């Protein structure tokens, strides 16, 4: 069992590949519990974190994963780079390539940009979010959290609610959950649900309360306050009244339902504080699993050995 | 590809393996006598079930309760390269402190010594044992590093290109020690 050279998206990954990543991530969790939280697996490998869009969570999570595996890291973000001086994506990449990196972790606003740079580099590319296209490691850490709490994915009823149109997290999660055998429903204001989303094998239910009925997993998405100017809904207050996950509404789900959120959360917009902090909320478990999943992906893409045993 | 004739010979069957393990357990007991503070750490994948079996024998023969941990050395290997597949991780699980203890590392086959080098590095990251010893089921020679076992179940004369495989019920469905040699 071997992963490809790059991780550009969940689309195209098989059930076996996803399970391999999740199983490896489960084993990586042990490293975080040691007094010395570091293993030499990727010693001498150079990994470039190339972030053309702001990110705190994902970038720090990748950086911790890289450090725990002893890789060398180079951080590159638009705020401090020549991109501000007008350098193109390709020129930036070609320059960094001459420093012989073994992998790029890249976030960029344009869908497909991570796939694009694979044509110009020798190492691996890991997509850390390319516009509204995919964010594979987020879906994988969500999956690891679901598997830990629910034991598996078969016949699980999952609801994803929020701005479905602009969310790369949704796209990666739909691919993953469908591949693993779960049922997925999406909900949110009709202005935030793209036409033909049913073709991805999901159900659409714009009535949030109906959508919540008997769900095993509810994934709330962040309302991107910066998109408010597009007037996709009248006001934040109205959004909360219609689509906010309140304690009252949460009771409509299965009694063992868990609440997830990719963060950062807007309390009182898409989720009430009482729900975000309740015992069924696994939001912080997701963050913790993020490091393990990223360690697993880096190890599987970069940690090739000759054979399994040489005694 | 040139077809090579491969000779496959069973060196020990289940009974032979059980007898060798009993002998190995007794040897460990004799040498550790008086010392209570020792524990086994088996190297994944087959060293771990072997360590559990040795601990079980010590329980049956001498009523000793010895702790057993599992060590995955794949994150410590020195032969990583960009070709090939990342080895499957089986996980490290050492549910006790190694500080101030004699740790007996257990592995199935001792060959180049590179696995043991990696295991020593991995153990140091977990803690600082008083002493580390090595027990192997088969020593087949051809070391590439200055490493020797303290306890050996069976010494086997092999050629460098031979292949020695210890199959165990826990991992492979049956007990059998096989020597494969190309002609």
Return the pLDDT at A206.
96
Return the pLDDT at A308.
42
For the segment A174-188, the average pLDDT, to the nearest whole number, is 98
Lowest mean pLDDT among A1-15, A80-94, A269-283, B137-151: A80-94
Cα–Cα distance measured from residue A6 to residue A13, given in angstroms and rounded to the nearest whole number:
11
Domain contains A309: no
Confidence of residue A306 (pLDDT cuts 50, 70, 90): very low
Return the pLDDT at A230.
72
Q: Which residues of A touch B114 (CB under 8 A)?
A: 310-311
Q: Please tell me whether residues A299 and A281 are part of one structural domain.
A: no
* B118: closest CA of chain A, how far (Å): 10
Return the pLDDT at A307.
42
| Residue A218 parent element (H or E) | strand A217-220
For the segment B91-97, the average pLDDT, to the nearest whole number, is 94
Domain contains A166: yes
**Interface residue ranges in chain B relative to chain A, Cβ cutoff 8 Å:** 72, 74-77, 79-93, 107-112, 114-115, 121-122, 125-127, 140
Cα–Cα distance measured from residue B73 to residue B91, given in angstroms and rounded to the nearest whole number:
9
Return the pLDDT at B84.
63
Q: Are the beta carbons of B132 and B165 closer than 8 angstroms?
A: no
Lowest mean pLDDT among A52-56, A181-185, A239-243, A307-311: A307-311
For the segment A204-225, the average pLDDT, to the nearest whole number, is 95
Tell me, rounded to whole angstroms, the distance of Cα A193 from its chain centroid: 19
Q: What is the CATH number of the domain that holds A48?
A: 3.40.50.1370
Q: Please tell me whether residues A56 and A186 are part of one structural domain.
A: no
Q: Are the beta carbons of A302 and A104 closer than 8 angstroms?
A: no
Residue A84 has pLDDT above 90, yes or no: no
Sheet holding B163-167, edge to edge: B6-12, B176-182, B163-167
Mutate one of B45, B77, B80, B168 to test the A interface: name it (highest A CB count within 10 A): B80
CA closest to A68 among chain B residues? B75
**Interface residue ranges in chain A relative to chain B, Cβ cutoff 8 Å:** 1-2, 20, 23-24, 26-28, 30-31, 34-36, 38-42, 69, 102, 299-311
pLDDT, greater one: A235 or B14:
B14
For the segment A13-42, the average pLDDT, to the nearest whole number, is 94
The verdict on whether omega for the bond into residue A74 sits within 30 degrees of 0, i.e. cis, is no
Average pLDDT score, chain A: 93
Q: Please tell me whether residues A131 and A22 are part of one structural domain.
A: yes
Inter-residue long-range contacts of B126-129, CB under 8 Å, 24+ positions, other chains counted: B126/A34, B126/A35, B126/A36, B126/B92, B126/B94, B126/B98, B127/A35, B127/B97, B127/B98, B127/B99, B128/B98, B128/B99, B129/B98, B129/B99, B129/B100, B129/B101, B129/B102, B129/B103
Q: What is the pLDDT of residues A258-301, one digit of tens each?
A: 999 999 999 999 999 999 999 999 999 999 999 999 999 999 99
Domains of chain B by residue range: 7-77+89-181
| Domains of chain A: total | 2
Q: B7-77+89-181 has which CATH code?
A: 3.40.50.2020
Cα–Cα distance measured from residue A103 to residue A121, given in angstroms and rounded to the nearest whole number:
9
Return the pLDDT at A3.
83
DSSP string, A219-250: EEPPP-GGGGGG-SSS-HHHHHHHH-B-HHHH
Q: What is the pLDDT of residues B54-88, one digit of tens each?
A: 999 999 998 999 999 999 999 998 765 544 678 88
For the segment A95-121, the average pLDDT, to the nearest whole number, is 96
Return the pLDDT at A274.
97
Average pLDDT score, chain B: 91
Residue A139 has pLDDT above 50, yes or no: yes
Token couple for B144: 């590439």
> Count of CB atoms within 10 A of residue A269's CB?
18
Return the residue matching tokens 């257990």.
B106
Residue B14's SS3 state is helix
CA closest to A304 among chain B residues? B86
Return the pLDDT at B83.
45
Q: Do B76 and A304 touch (CB under 8 A)?
A: no
* B112: closest CA of chain A, how far (Å): 6
Domain contains A90: yes
CA closest to B136 among chain A residues? A311
Report ipTM for this prediction: 0.82
Q: Percentage of chain A surpassing pLDDT 70?
A: 94
Residue A56 has pLDDT above 90, yes or no: no
Q: Which residues of B touch A23 (CB under 8 A)?
A: 88-89
Return the pLDDT at A231.
77
* A156: closest CA of chain B, how far (Å): 27
Return the pLDDT at A86.
79
Mutate one of B69, B75, B78 to test the A interface: name it (highest A CB count within 10 A): B75
Return the pLDDT at A258.
98
* B87: closest CA of chain A, how far (Å): 6
Q: Please tell me whether residues A282 and A146 are part of one structural domain.
A: yes
Q: Do B76 and A30 touch (CB under 8 A)?
A: no
Q: Please tell me whether residues A148 and A273 are part of one structural domain.
A: yes
Closest partner CB to B84 (pick from A23, A40, A304): A304
> What pTM was computed for the model?
0.90
Tell me, rounded to whole angstroms, the distance of Cα B26 from its chain centroid: 17
Domain range enclosing A24: 6-135+288-303
* A292: closest CA of chain B, how far (Å): 13
Nearest to A135 by CA among A266, A277, A10: A10
Confidence of residue A109 (pLDDT cuts 50, 70, 90): very high
Q: Please tell me whether residues A179 and A102 are part of one structural domain.
A: no
Residue A35 has pLDDT above 70, yes or no: yes
Q: Do A35 and B74 touch (CB under 8 A)?
A: no
For the segment B173-179, the average pLDDT, to the nearest whole number, is 96
Residue B20 has pLDDT above 90, yes or no: yes
């Amino acid at each position: 069992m071997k992963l490809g050279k790059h991780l550009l998206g969940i689309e195209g990954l098989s059930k076996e590949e996803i399970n391999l990543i999740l199983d490896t991530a489960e084993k990586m969790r042990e490293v975080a519990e040691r007094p010395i939280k570091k293993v030499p697996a990727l010693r001498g490998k150079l990994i470039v974190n190339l972030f053309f869009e702001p990110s705190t969570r994902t970038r720090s999570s990748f950086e911790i994963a890289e450090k725990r595996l002893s890789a060398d890291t180079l951080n590159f973000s638009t705020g401090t780079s020549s991109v501000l001086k007008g350098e193109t994506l390709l020129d930036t990449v070609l320059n960094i390539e001459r420093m012989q990196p073994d992998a790029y972790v890249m976030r960029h606003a344009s869908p497909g940009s991570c796939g694009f740079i694979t044509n110009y580099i020798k190492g691996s590319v890991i997509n850390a979010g390319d516009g509204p296209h995919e964010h594979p490691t987020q879906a994988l850490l969500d999956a690891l959290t679901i598997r830990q709490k629910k034991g598996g994915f078969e016949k699980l009823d999952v609801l994803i609610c929020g701005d479905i149109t602009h969310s790369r997290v949704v796209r990666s999660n739909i691919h993953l959950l469908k591949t693993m055998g779960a049922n997925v429903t999406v909900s949110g204001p009709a202005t935030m649900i793209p036409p033909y989303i049913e073709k991805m094998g999901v159900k659409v239910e714009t009535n949030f309360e109906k959508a919540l009925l008997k769900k095993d997993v509810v994934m709330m998405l962040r309302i991107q306050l910066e998109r408010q100017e597009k007037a996709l809904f009248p006001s934040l207050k109205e959004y909360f009244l219609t689509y906010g996950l309140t304690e009252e509404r949460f009771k409509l789900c299965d009694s063992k339902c868990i609440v997830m959120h990719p963060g950062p959360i807007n309390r009182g917009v898409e989720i009430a504080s009482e729900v975000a902090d309740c015992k069924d909320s696994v939001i912080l478990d997701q963050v913790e699993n993020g490091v393990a999943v990223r360690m697993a992906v880096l190890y599987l893409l970069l940690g090739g050995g000759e054979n399994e045993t040489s005694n | 590809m040139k077809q090579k004739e491969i000779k496959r010979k069973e060196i020990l069957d289940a009974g032979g393996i059980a007898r060798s393990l009993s002998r190995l357990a007794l040897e460990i007991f004799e040498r550790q006598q008086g010392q209570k503070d020792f524990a086994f750490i088996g190297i994944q994948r087959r060293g771990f079930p072997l360590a559990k079996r040795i601990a079980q024998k010590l329980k049956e023969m001498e009523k000793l309760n010895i702790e057993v941990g599992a060590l995955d050395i794949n994150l410590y290997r020195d032969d990583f390269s960009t070709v090939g597949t990342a080895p499957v991780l089986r996980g490290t699980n050492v549910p006790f402190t190694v500080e101030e203890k004699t740790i007996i590392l257990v592995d199935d086959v001792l060959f180049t010594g590179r696995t043991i080098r990696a295991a020593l590095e991995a153990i140091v990251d977990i803690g600082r044992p008083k002493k580390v010893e090595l027990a192997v089921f088969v020593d087949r020679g051809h070391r590439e590093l200055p490493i020797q076992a303290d306890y050996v179940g069976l010494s086997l004369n092999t050629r460098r290109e031979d292949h020695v495989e210890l199959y165990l019920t826990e991992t492979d469905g049956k007990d059998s020690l096989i020597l494969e040699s190309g002609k």
